[in-house]
């Protein structure tokens, strides 16, 4: 099997590309996949039940990174500030808008330079003081944020308890997450409370069984090496590979997980 990695516009773009058979496999946030299956959010009136999960990769936490000198202490301070939401078609944009809605903040009330930059351009813009902050849904620690923190003084903004409660009750795919103080990023000396989703590798229901099996077995059979490939994978367990999915498993993936004892036969539906 020959694989190539394609850079794309993010989760929404990936969902569309797999749906349209432009990609065989892709990665997306489980909240975006949920929206596609249920015709919510970016996919209103556009439900599709043909997508299938292969493996849950790692947790991703919504992170609001701001320049400390801008005095932003809470989401309520964002009005009038230049905050990059994320490029269109990205999970960053989708999730950021959901949190802003919980705060009753209209994205149009952000500063004139509110951006639709991809994450690389957004971090560069913050370092150059062209924006005041940016949203980033990512595994942690993250090299993008580390680079920014090593260049300018940054802060991370917590979601308040009231809005956290609302988001967790309203959206079944969100989980509560915490970025601990003085561990992740230079200069951030407080815990940061936020929400998280899972990054899920998914495919189309018509994807051939053999391709799915080869891909998934390559992870399971080389699990220690797999975990060493990226810092976001350090806390992953074989059991967590089936957690946080908002799509049905591809039948071939389900078979592999059963053979590995990760899905117990008596608990399968």
Strands (E), 33-170: 51-67, 83-84, 133-138, 154-156
The predicted structure's pLDDT at residue 268: 42
The reported pLDDT for the residue numbered 11 is: 87
CATH number assigned to the domain covering 11-58+203-267 = 3.40.190.10
| 157: CB partners within 8 A, 6+ apart | 64, 66, 72, 73, 74, 75, 133, 192
pLDDT of residue 65: 98
pTM: 0.74
Helix spans in 171-248 (H)? 209-220, 223-227
Q: How far is CA 227 from CA 24, 25, 95, 243, in A?
A: 23, 20, 26, 16
How confident is the model over 228-263, as pLDDT tens digits? Answer: 998 788 878 999 999 888 899 999 999 999 999 999
Q: What average pLDDT does the structure give for the chain?
A: 91
Q: Are 262 and 268 in contact (CB under 8 A)?
A: no
- Intrachain domains 11-58+203-267 and 60-197 with the same fold: yes
131, 122 contact by CB (below 8 A)? yes
Q: What is the pLDDT of residue 266?
A: 58
> Under CATH, what is the fold of the domain 60-197?
D-Maltodextrin-Binding Protein; domain 2 (3.40.190)
Collect the ranges in the chain with pLDDT lower than 70: 266-269
Cα separation, 71 vs 231, in Å, equals: 30
pLDDT given for residue 139 in this prediction: 86
Q: Where are the domains of the chain?
A: 11-58+203-267, 60-197
Q: What distances in angstroms separate CA 100 from CA 126, 146, 175, one per listed residue?
A: 20, 25, 17
Determine the Cα–Cα distance for residues 79 and 203; give it in Å rounded to an integer.
39
- Answer positive or negative: Cα dihedral of 181, 137, 3, 253: positive
């Amino acid at each position: 099997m020959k694989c190539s990695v394609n850079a794309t516009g993010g989760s929404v773009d990936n969902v569309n590309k797999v749906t349209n058979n432009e990609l065989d496999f892709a990665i997306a946030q489980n909240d975006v996949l949920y929206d596609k299956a249920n015709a919510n959010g970016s996919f209103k009136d556009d439900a599709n039940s043909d997508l299938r999960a292969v493996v849950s990769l790692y947790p991703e936490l919504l992170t609001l990174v701001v320049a400390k000198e801008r005095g932003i202490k809470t989401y309520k301070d964002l009005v009038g500030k230049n905050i990059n939401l994320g490029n269109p078609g990205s999970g960053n944009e989708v999730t950021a808008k959901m949190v802003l809605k919980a705060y009753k903040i209209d994205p149009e009330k952000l500063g004139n330079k509110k951006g639709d930059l991809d994450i690389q351009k957004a971090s560069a813009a913050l370092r150059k003081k062209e924006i005041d902050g940016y949203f980033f849904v990512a595994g942690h620690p993250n090299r993008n944020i580390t680079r920014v923190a090593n260049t300018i003084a940054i802060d991370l903004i917590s979601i308040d308890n009231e809005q956290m409660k609302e988001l967790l009750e309203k959206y079944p795919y969100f989980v509560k997450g915490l970025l601990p103080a003085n561990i992740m990023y230079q200069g951030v000396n407080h815990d940061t409370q936020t929400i998280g989703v899972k990054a899920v590798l998914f495919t189309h229901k018509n994807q051939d069984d053999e391709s799915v099996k080869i891909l998934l077995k390559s992870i399971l059979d080389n699990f220690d090496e797999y975990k060493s490939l990226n810092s976001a994978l350090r806390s992953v367990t074989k059991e967590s590979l089936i957690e946080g999915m908002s799509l049905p498993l591809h039948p071939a993936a389900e078979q592999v997980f059963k053979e590995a004892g990760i899905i117990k036969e008596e608990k399968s539906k």
